[in-house]
C-alpha cells in the first residue's frame, strides 16, 4: 500500500459536484468511482484506491445542481465527461468502479465508452431498470428508463406495481422480491433491456453476495459472466454466500445507523467478500495479471 498520508484530495464543482483524490507523485492509472442510489460521492472509497496508487474521481450524478432529483433518464454522457477529465489529467488506463445502481451505470459506460479498460461492478444488475425517483420534470410516473444515451432513453425493465414493498414500521424494507417478480412479469422488456456487456472490450470484475436482500445480484453476476464468456471477454466473479448488497472493501467501516432498506449479509461475510475481491479489483484497475 502506498503512503496514505501523501494523498491529496480536491473538490470539484463543475460540471458536477465531485471529489478527485490523487496519490503521491504522478499516476497514469485512474478510476471513476460511482456510488449507489443514495446519491453519495464515494470519497472514502476514493481514498482507499488512491492509497493503492490510483487517481480516483467520484461525482454526483443525480440530485445535484442542474441534475434530475432522481435516477431517471440520467445521461451516460455524465460519466463520459468524467472519463474526459481523467484522460485530460494524464490517465492512460481508466477504469470505473460502481456499486448497485452505480454498477448498472459502470457496466453501461464500459459498453458505450471504449476508453474504459476495466469495470468493477459491485452488487450488479444484468438489465437496465426503470427510474428510481423523479426526472427533470419532477415526475416519478409513468416509469421511464434510468438512463439515456445521446438523448435517447435506454430500453428498461418496469416494476411490477403489485409487488411494490410497503413500509409498515416493523423493520427495513426489502426490495428483492420486487425485482424478481418484475423480471418475470415483464420478461420481454427485461430481455430487451439486457446490458450488452458482450460488446465491451473492458476487463470485468463482478462482486456479489448470495444473501443480497436488495436484488439478486449474484444471479445477475452469473448471467453477465455467461454472456461475457460467450463473446470471449475477460470476466471474474467474486462471491460469498453470506454477503449482502454492500460488500466492505478493506479499510471501509461498517454501515452506521439503522438501515431503512434491507440489504442482507452482515459485517463478517460482507468484509470477507470485500477482502476476497480486493486483489481482483486492483489487478483489473492496474492492468496486471492476477
Give the per-residue pLDDT at 112.
Answer: 98
Question: For the chain (length 290 residues), average pLDDT per consecutive 10?
Answer: 61 87 91 93 96 96 94 97 96 98 98 98 98 96 97 98 81 93 98 98 98 98 98 98 98 82 95 98 94
Give the per-residue pLDDT at 282.
Answer: 98
Give the per-residue pLDDT at 1.
Answer: 42
Give the per-residue pLDDT at 255.
Answer: 81
CA angle, residues 250, 253, 238, in degrees to nearest 5: 40
Contact 205, 284 (CB under 8 A): yes
Give the per-residue pLDDT at 224.
Answer: 98
SS3 assignment for 251-283: CCCCCCCCCCECCCCCHHHHHHHHHHHHHHHHH
Give the per-residue pLDDT at 219.
Answer: 98
Looking up residue 126, the CATH number of its domain turns out to be 3.40.50.1820
pLDDT per residue as tens digits for the range 70-82: 999 999 999 999 9
Give the per-residue pLDDT at 170.
Answer: 73
Give the per-residue pLDDT at 62.
Answer: 96
The count of structural domains within the chain is 1
- Strands 18-22, 8-12: pairing is antiparallel
Contacts of 2 by beta carbon, 8 Å cutoff, 6+ apart: 23, 24, 50, 51, 52, 53
Residue 79 lies in domain: 4-286
Amino acid at each position: 500500500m502506498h503512503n496514505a498520508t501523501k494523498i491529496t484530495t480536491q473538490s470539484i464543482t463543475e460540471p458536477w459536484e465531485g471529489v478527485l483524490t490523487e496519490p503521491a507523485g504522478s499516476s497514469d492509472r485512474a478510476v471513476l468511482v460511482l456510488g449507489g442510489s443514495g446519491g453519495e460521492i464515494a470519497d472514502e472509497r476514493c481514498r482507499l484506491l488512491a492509497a493503492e496508487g490510483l487517481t480516483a474521481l467520484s461525482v454526483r450524478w443525480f440530485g445535484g445542481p442542474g441534475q434530475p432529483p432522481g435516477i431517471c433518464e440520467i445521461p451516460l454522457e455524465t460519466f463520459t465527461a468524467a472519463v474526459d477529465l481523467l484522460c485530460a489529467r494524464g490517465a492512460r488506463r481508466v477504469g470505473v468502479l460502481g456499486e448497485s445502481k452505480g454498477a448498472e451505470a459502470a457496466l453501461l459506460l464500459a459498453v458505450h465508452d471504449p476508453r474504459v479498460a476495466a469495470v468493477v461492478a459491485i452488487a450488479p444488475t444484468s438489465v437496465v431498470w426503470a427510474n428510481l425517483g423523479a426526472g427533470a420534470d419532477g415526475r416519478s410516473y409513468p416509469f421511464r428508463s434510468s438512463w439515456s444515451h445521446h438523448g435517447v432513453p435506454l430500453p428498461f425493465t418496469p416494476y411490477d406495481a403489485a409487488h411494490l414493498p410497503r413500509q409498515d414500521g416493523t423493520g427495513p424494507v426489502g426490495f428483492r422480491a420486487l425485482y424478481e417478480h418484475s423480471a418475470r412479469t415483464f420478461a420481454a422488456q427485461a430481455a430487451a433491456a439486457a446490458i450488452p456487456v458482450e460488446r465491451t472490450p473492458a476487463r470485468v470484475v463482478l462482486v456479489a453476495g448470495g444473501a443480497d436482500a436488495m436484488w439478486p445480484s449474484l444471479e445477475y453476476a452469473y448471467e453477465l459472466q455467461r454472456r461475457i464468456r460467450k463473446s470471449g471477454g475477460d470476466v471474474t466473479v467474486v462471491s460469498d454466500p453470506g454477503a449482502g448488497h454492500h460488500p466492505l472493501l478493506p479499510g471501509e467501516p461498517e454501515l452506521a445507523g439503522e438501515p431503512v432498506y434491507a440489504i442482507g449479509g452482515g459485517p463478517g461475510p460482507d468484509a470477507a467478500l470485500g477482502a476476497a475481491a480486493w486483489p481482483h479489483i486492483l489487478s483489473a484497475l492496474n492492468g496486471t495479471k492476477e
